[in-house]
Structure 1
Amino acid sequence: MVDFDDWYEREHPRVLAACRAVGGDVDAAAEATSEAFARAAQRWASVRTMAAPGGWVQVVALNQLRRSLRRRRVERRLLPRRGEGVEGPPPPDVDVWRAVAALPERQQRCVVLRYVHDLPEAEIAALLGIARGTVASTLSTAREGLRVRLGHEAHDDDRDGEHIHG
């Protein structure tokens, strides 16, 4: 069986980096990552037996991040703040992650699960509750969108996303 502490040490940096890259907000990313791992700890008996516990915690973190960012946008609109906090260093491959953040939500999730967590399409499909073919199509569309946004040509295979790891 997988030990929570070892799993946490391995997965936490990847989940945090992906949330920072997708959300662009250091504090929101840290909060979402912490919440996701707290939920994983509470449910560790079932999470550790999953085929892809790293993918599960990433999906939980991205869901939390989305809710948190939505809430912060509403707060900023309703209660304008002066002197926002200083952001930390940019995530690796900031141009790539900005392009990923500009993709539709499903494409973002598929890209993160495939290229950060190295999950196969079948596991991504199971985690997101969609068909494997939908994952393949979504990844293909995401790669094309990234090519356009980043302005360069590449082959349409899984190696294209390798540079996303940073």
Structure 2
Amino acid sequence: MKQPHDEPDGLVFDDWYRQEYPRVRQAITLAIADATLGEEATAEAFALAVVHWARVRVMDSPTGWVYTTALSQVRRSWRRAALERRHAARTRLGEYLPPPLPDTTLWQAVAALSPRARTAVALRYVADLPEAEVAQAMNVSRGTVATTLSRARQQLAAHLQTLGEGDRR
């Protein structure tokens, strides 16, 4: 009798999960600048991966699918939060305040990037996805990813250089 973890012709979910989860969580968290939502979106994406494992494990890039799914979860959460803020404003329940970001120079520099640039940087450099997979996860062209990353690197270099010059004064 075949056991749930016997998968001789493909990835074994448990091994794949242990290897990929920390990197996916870190990249998504960096991309969206929200540790709690990053953790939730990543967990939800992997939960969907296990439910659909027979289909996901034979994909060209199961990890790319998880990134795409996690980012979709984030977008749904942002839409829901926007609706909640509008409702709160109408009912005067107060304004939604996001959790504070970690206080590091690099994190601040990345957080200052546009959402698209943050996402591209996180998926390319933290998750170490090739540009083609970053493009697929972000639902943009590979050229858009390359341009976004180039501009983001320039912005980060300028920001970090400005901070470094301030330290020398």
Fold shared by both chains (TM-score > 0.5): yes
From the superposition, tell whether residues 107 and 50 of structure 1 become closer, same or farther in structure 2 (CA, over 3 Å). farther
Q: CA RMSD in A?
A: 3.1
Partner of 2:114: 104
Partner of 2:125: 115
Contact 1:22 1:98 in 2 (8 A): no
Larger Rg: 2
From the superposition, tell whether residues 69 and 47 of structure 1 become closer, same or farther in structure 2 (CA, over 3 Å). same
Contact 1:16 1:30 in 2 (8 A): yes
Contact 1:55 1:113 in 2 (8 A): no
From the superposition, tell whether residues 134 and 27 of structure 1 become closer, same or farther in structure 2 (CA, over 3 Å). closer
From the superposition, tell whether residues 140 and 55 of structure 1 become closer, same or farther in structure 2 (CA, over 3 Å). same
* Residue 35 (1) aligns with residue 15 (2): no
Which sections of structure 1, spanning at least 5 residues, go unmatched? 153-166
What's the CA shift string for 1:112-163, capped at 9, x where partnerless?
22112222223323443433222211210111122233336xxxxxxxxxxx
Question: Partners in 2 of 1:63 and 1:129 — Cα distance?
Answer: 10
Partner of 2:74: 65
Residues 62-141 of structure 1 aligned to structure 2 (within 5 Å)? 62-72=71-81, 74-75=83-84, 78=88, 79-80=93-94, 90=102, 94-141=104-151
TM-score by length of structure 1 reads 0.70
* Residue 3 (1) aligns with residue 12 (2): yes
From the superposition, tell whether residues 108 and 63 of structure 1 become closer, same or farther in structure 2 (CA, over 3 Å). farther
